[in-house]
Amino acid sequence: MEPPLFPRESGQFIAERSRDVFVEEEGVQKVAEMLFNLRHTDDLTASGWKKANPLAPALNWVFVIDTMNFSFWPEEETQQCEVTYKGTTYTGYMTLCAAIARAMEEGIPITDPKYFSQMSMEELGQVLRSDNETPMPMLQERHQVLTEGGRVLLEHGGSFRSFISRAGNDARKMVELIVEKIHSYRDEATFEGKRISLYKRAQILVADFWGVMEARGEGDIINMDWLTMFADYRVPQALVFLGALRYTDTLMQALNKGELLSSGDRREVEIRGCSIWSVELIKERLCKLVKERDGQTCNVNSAVIDFYLWPYAKKHHKEMAHIPIHHTRCIYY
């Protein structure tokens, strides 16, 4: 079987054939201008990552989080899974971070692959317990992918650091290594007869690794520019809100009705692929502005743009409430 196109090429391939999602030139320019005005702030650096990940202490922690970083949306908006840690109550993705931090405080060796490679589902259920009646979704799948990931780390030196070091300090090789060795990271689909990849969690794992290393002053990872944005359900909503993406009325209606899209559904792949491609174009446009107006080379990569757009979407969620997010229950995002 031929290997899938990489995420950037996949995004372009999908955007050129898309029927329900369109990348909008004008919106792309608008977002590039908005980011250009932020170019001297922390928002567009790896320290922007730290803002988005205030609870991140170590590399194995990052691995545990990113391996289970999928599907946090509630069945009902009013019934959110909640986890309180040190007086702050978290929802969404942050419930996972808070639950892992809480487990560490309780003395559970949740970041040790020797432990999490063979922990029981009950033990993980206890770690991820919610403060209310709404549990974190997909406990069985989270247990399966975490124990699988732990076993792979044990086969490769026993830590995420030793595992990832096999790829040298090359972001692209890291993504390739992760998807080759760890099955649950193979975020792939078929679109118009072609195998494509979106690799949301594999790329975010590499970007998070970079974020931690950068914070330690060791972030000399090459090929960071090869990474794309991380195609999930929150950033596409922000891209539609900002005018860089447009959905057809038919798609809007389906999403407003709350239709569940299955993983690999054409519309789901279009939303994610066009998000990737629109961010690639935003990055290109931004770098052009930096060159033309500042006479400098631009070192903003798509990961950093994603690190800005994701918290932006969280912050402006009330203004964006009229734009539906797409719902897909799967282990990929």
Q: What would the two tokens of residue 32 be? A: 């590039």
Q: What is the largest CA-CA distance in the chain?
A: 58
Question: Residue 80 — φ and ψ, nearest 5°?
Answer: -90, 140
Question: Residue 172 — φ and ψ, nearest 5°?
Answer: -65, -45
Kindly report the CA angle at 203 between 200 and 208, in degrees rounded to 5?
Answer: 115
Instruction: Mark whether 232 is an active-site residue.
Output: yes
Residue in 66, 208, 232, 306 annotated catalytic: 232
Which residues are catalytic, by number?
A: 232
